[in-house]
């Protein structure tokens, strides 16, 4: 199996939020399909900016096997993105997110703003995906606790520092995030940790984060990895974002071997196929 070793003795695992428990019932990691309704995301900016195009892409990813649809209306790429107001973010979402949620696939809202996450959770989203791990918007943790929603807590940094031990930095960051979550009364079983591949990291540190993903199992919480089309791939094999499917699959298969329960990807069909085949092969051992 490619799933993480059993954590049945861990209280957080035993008390998983029902949404997460249902998603993790399968023998291979859940694929979270990326739906960016933005003009400037690094890989697909502008491709799904209209509600019609966004809904069509959501339907396509659902048909391809996505277990979660991750909708974002502000580019969070670590270089060159422009912040947008909550009003603009909501304007991009209002004609998209409810329609995507109506497809019946669990929807996560990719935002760093508590007000946007609250609106999304009131309009069909069931998971919050915070790229600043509850550490940027002071209202985020309390709001998520009020909704009793699962939350993806991602590691991030304002500045890249090639000299640091990136795994030690992630461990310290997550310890702070989990303290914030505990004080806000977010149950441990509602939390997923994401090492934040490509965020606040050199390409080498992004690869190290995947190579040493097992180090994060010390928290006893599910892990999400999103290496899809990330820049580190091009440092190994020069390529443009839409030419990085092979590198994305390699990174995601290794992440699954190291315990990732959710894989965030642009190329859903290929990722689902790779994970299912790898799991089937592992079952023959």
Query: Which residues does the annotation mark as catalytic?
Result: 230, 264
User: Three-class SS of residue 30?
Assistant: strand
C-alpha 40/C-alpha 81 separation (Å) is 7
Encode 229-252: b = buried (16+ Cβ within 10 Å), e = exposed. Answer: bbbbbbeeeebebeebbebbbbbb
* Burial label, 181 (beta-carbon count in 10 A; 0-12, 13-18, 19+): buried
- Within 10 angstroms of residue 49's Cβ, the number of other Cβ atoms is 18
User: Three-class SS of residue 281?
Assistant: helix
* CA-to-CA separations, 46 to 41, 74, 106, 266, in angstroms, rounded: 8, 12, 23, 14
- Within 10 angstroms of residue 102's Cβ, the number of other Cβ atoms is 12
* Burial label, 177 (beta-carbon count in 10 A; 0-12, 13-18, 19+): buried
* Burial label, 168 (beta-carbon count in 10 A; 0-12, 13-18, 19+): exposed
C-alpha 107/C-alpha 136 separation (Å) is 22
C-alpha 265/C-alpha 65 separation (Å) is 12
């Amino acid at each position: 199996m490619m799933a993480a070793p059993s954590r049945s003795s861990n209280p957080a695992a035993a008390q998983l939020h029902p949404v997460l428990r249902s998603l993790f019932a399968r023998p291979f990691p859940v694929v979270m399909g990326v739906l960016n309704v933005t003009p400037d995301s690094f890989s697909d900016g502008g491709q799904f900016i209209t509600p019609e195009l966004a809904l069509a892409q959501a339907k396509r990813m659902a048909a391809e096997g996505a277990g979660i649809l991750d909708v974002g209306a502000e580019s969070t790429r670590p270089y060159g993105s422009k912040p947008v107001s909550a009003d603009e973010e909501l304007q991009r979402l209002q004609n998209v997110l409810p329609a995507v949620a109506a497809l019946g696939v669990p929807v996560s809202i990719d935002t760093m703003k508590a007000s946007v996450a609250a609106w999304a959770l009131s309009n069909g989203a069931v998971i919050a995906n915070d790229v600043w791990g509850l550490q940027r918007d002071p209202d985020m943790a309390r709001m998520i606790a009020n909704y009793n929603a699962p939350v993806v807590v991602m590691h991030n940094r304002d500045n890249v520092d090639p000299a640091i031990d990136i795994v030690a930095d992630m461990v310290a960051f997550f310890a702070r995030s989990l303290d914030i979550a505990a004080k806000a009364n977010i149950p441990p079983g509602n939390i997923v940790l994401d090492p934040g591949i490509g965020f606040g990291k050199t390409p080498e540190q992004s690869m190290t984060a995947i190579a040493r993903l097992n180090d994060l199992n010390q928290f006893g919480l599910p892990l999400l990895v999103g290496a899809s089309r990330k820049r580190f791939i091009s440092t190994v094999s020069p390529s443009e974002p839409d030419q990085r499917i092979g590198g994305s699959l390699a990174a995601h298969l290794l992440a699954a071997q190291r315990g990732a329960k959710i894989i965030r990807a642009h190329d859903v069909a290929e990722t689902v196929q790779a994970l299912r085949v790898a799991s089937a092969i592992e079952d023959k051992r």
